[in-house]
Structure 1
Amino acid sequence: MVRTAPHDHSPADAPPLYRRVAVRLLGELRDGTFPPGGRLPGERRLAEHFGVSRETVRQALEVLRRDGLLATDRRGSHVALPGPAPQSPASLVFPVGARAAEPRTGDLATLAWEAPSREHADALGLAPGRPTLVHRYTSATADGSGRRTAVTSFSAVALAEVEELARYRGRADGSASAQLLRAYDWMRGAGLTLHHRDTITRLAYTPSVRVVRRVHDQYARPLEITDLLLDARQDALVYEFTLPAAG
């Protein structure tokens, strides 16, 4: 017999809370919030989204599974509604815009576990002095021209949700090479939809351009912020983003 969590009781004349959550979740499946074949967020995130307990979410998911609307495997629950599976967009190589079209011998990438800059901490909602994963990337030609640098700070949300990123915490000593080429693929694989917002500013009296990139997920939670500086005398800057979560 299915029972709701004690704090989730409903009035006697209303459907149980878990069934109402199941109806709301089904509506989001049908409106494409979670596309056919797409992976659902974890129970904890769904509980926060619907404002209920994890037990209530668990019961709601079971209702949809029994109706054949969800399928579950070791990677989590996936939408089983009929319809075309989401197309996989071309992978974006991290950090976007910092890498030249052709690999350069001067490319260098490192990771550190440290307190980010105040600007990055504020953007990510981190308390001053709280450490996080900070990625630094430098690219330059042999003669030092065309230099590009990028500093990325990841949020607590990104480290909690993306297992591949979290694994780096113990070995982020600031010296070992760490390219993180597939960082955005990892985020999508964790069920996150990526919204990128780039602010591009030309620096006065120089040929350089500063790009500040902020990435958040479908719940408006910050995932990362990147500061990118590049010599723009010859390169065109083209940025357009929204990557759906991977199915």
Structure 2
Amino acid sequence: MARTTPHQHVHTRRTLTDGEPLYRRVASELLGELRTGTVPPGERLPGERQLAGHFGVSRETVRQALEVLRREGLVATDRRGSHAALPGMPVEAPAAAGFPLGARQAGRDAVARAAVAWEVPPPGHAEPLGLAPGRPTLVHRYWSASPGVREQRTAVTSFSAVALAEVEELARYRDRADGTGAAELRRTYDWMRRAGLSLHHRDTITRVEGAPSVRVTRQVRDQHHRPLELTELVMDAQQDVLVYEFMVPAAV
């Protein structure tokens, strides 16, 4: 597809042949691309205009093709748009740690919430991200609790202007980041890698004075040393100070 495939495809305007409706043929080709992992399960498909240009058909034909896939449970549509809904994991397993820092694996008894807002970042976030004081940006908040609420984790992430300019999937959240709706940003680091960014993580772990908790501060930069995100995670635990750094290469 125009958004994700490495090579541009030139399509001529399709015509009806062999008695098969054109929209069904487009649905079949689109399904084939979804099965190869062009758009991983759960991620947003390109818009109707992009799909129409990709397949060389009208937007109405694309609309009909998507409806066929929706009826078969292979595509889901919500207020964010249409998403691949094929069963199974994405073809390319994530090479980076999950987002946000400290996010738990889904469990039957665990509780987690996440939301995004377009707002001024928390104190201490603007300068490392290269943001002017008082300038709003995309801020992600995460909260989780273990079974029985024995351990809680809260994480606040602020993204830089560079991240929003380079990573299309993040930029799309700006207009709907009202701080109330659920946010699914678990593939953030894969989106960054797919945008051609190599990720340099620097995590600093310190004790929270007067509390049985630790604070983990993560700063992420790209291969050009440009800031991408800053996350502060507070979790119920006790550990000594630890700083470690690692690189995640860009997707090729």
TM-score range, shorter chain: 0.5 to 0.7
Matched, 1:100 2:104: yes
Residue by residue over 1:142-199, the C-alpha shift from the partner in whole angstroms, topping out at 9 and shown as x without a partner, is: 4322100100000000000000000111110100000300000000000000000011
Counterpart residue identity of residue 130, structure 2? G
**Residues 245/210 of structure 1: CA separation in 2 closer, same or farther (3 Å cut):** same
Where in structure 2 are there 5+ consecutive unaligned residues?
1-5, 10-91
Where in structure 1 are there 5+ consecutive unaligned residues?
1-71, 76-86
Partner secondary structure for residue 242 of structure 1: strand
Corresponding residue of 2:208: 203
Aligned residues: 162
Is the 2:204–2:244 contact (alpha carbons within 8 Å) kept by the matching residues of 1? no
CA distance, structure 1, for counterparts of residue 129 and residue 208 of structure 2: 24
Matched, 1:159 2:164: yes
The percentage of aligned residue pairs carrying the same residue is 61
Counterpart residue identity of residue 116, structure 1? P
How far 1:88 sits from its partner (Å)?
7.6
Q: CA RMSD of the aligned region, Å?
A: 2.5
TM-score normalised to the size of structure 2?
0.59
**Residues 231/169 of structure 1: CA separation in 2 closer, same or farther (3 Å cut):** same
Partner secondary structure for residue 148 of structure 2: coil
Counterpart residue identity of residue 155, structure 1? S
TM-score normalised to the size of structure 1?
0.60
Among 120, 138, 156, which residue is 2:125 paired with? 120
CA distance, structure 2, for counterparts of residue 207 and residue 127 of structure 1: 34
CA distance, structure 1, for counterparts of residue 171 and residue 237 of structure 2: 34
Is the 2:137–2:160 contact (alpha carbons within 8 Å) kept by the matching residues of 1? yes
Residue by residue over 1:43-70, the C-alpha shift from the partner in whole angstroms, topping out at 9 and shown as x without a partner, is: xxxxxxxxxxxxxxxxxxxxxxxxxxxx
**Residues 89/177 of structure 1: CA separation in 2 closer, same or farther (3 Å cut):** closer
Residue by residue over 1:206-239, the C-alpha shift from the partner in whole angstroms, topping out at 9 and shown as x without a partner, is: 22000110000000000000000001159xx896
Is the 1:118–1:128 contact (alpha carbons within 8 Å) kept by the matching residues of 2? no
Matched, 1:145 2:150: yes
Bigger strand fraction: 2
